[in-house]
Amino acid sequence: MVSTMLPLPEFFPVSRIEWWRSRGMHYVCPATGHLVSNPEGRGCPEHGVKLFLNCRVCRKPWKLVSESMYSSRATDGAKFCRFCFTPAPWLGRRELMAWVRHQVQADGGLSEGERAELVAVLDRIKDMEPSDGNAVPGWRRLHDLAPKVFAATKPVREALMSEGVRRALDALFG
């Protein structure tokens, strides 16, 4: 099979990361986001998990970024899908809660009062344990005022709340 990843001509205005991507296959490890270039199998030998190339939701190529201070060579997968905004699998609860807060901040359908209320609600939830049932009314408020944001949190809800809290929420909407 002929490779479609031919080297680009010198004058082609691509970022160095895109150029480097054209040099081979760079898979992202879901454990920490580090890259494995041209792996022998499909797994990360360091973390024992399956590597990925594409977003798990929209299936488009996951963006590579450089975390190196000394070169623009890609070192890691980006924190979010650049197409559908799905968060990377290595983000923790703190980063995911910040992501939900940012969705609320970006939701044009909310009044200023609703936005301020939800931001305050999320700031309270973020300091609670995932198993804390006191978070249920807060999640419910998010569901009622910003249903699109609530729906967008579905793929990460396991990281944000324990099984018990999720059941209590489901029972409310049952």
List residues binding Zn ion (CB under 5 A): 29, 31, 44, 46-47, 55, 57-58, 81, 83-84, 86
Report the SS3 class of residue 3: coil
Report the SS3 class of residue 68: coil
Q: How far is the CB of 20 from Zn ion (least distance, A)?
A: 19
> What is the SS3 string spanning 40-58?
CCCECCCCCCECECECCCC
Question: Among residues 68 and 134, whose Cβ is nearest to Zn ion?
Answer: 68
Question: Among residues 125 and 152, whose Cβ is nearest to Zn ion?
Answer: 152
Question: Among residues 119 and 159, whose Cβ is nearest to Zn ion?
Answer: 159
Question: Among residues 47 and 140, whose Cβ is nearest to Zn ion?
Answer: 47
Q: How far is the CB of 53 from Zn ion (least distance, A)?
A: 12
Q: How far is the CB of 92 from Zn ion (least distance, A)?
A: 16
Q: How far is the CB of 115 from Zn ion (least distance, A)?
A: 25
Whole-angstrom distance, CA of residue 31 vs CA of residue 46? 9
| Strand ranges (E), the chain | 26-28, 35-37, 64-65, 76-77
Instruction: Find out whether 160 and 153 touch, Cβ atoms under 8 Å.
Output: yes
Whole-angstrom distance, CA of residue 54 vs CA of residue 71? 24
Whole-angstrom distance, CA of residue 41 vs CA of residue 21? 18
Nearest to 136 by CA among 165, 162, 163, 96: 165
Question: Among residues 16 and 60, whose Cβ is nearest to Zn ion?
Answer: 60
Q: How far is the CB of 33 from Zn ion (least distance, A)?
A: 9
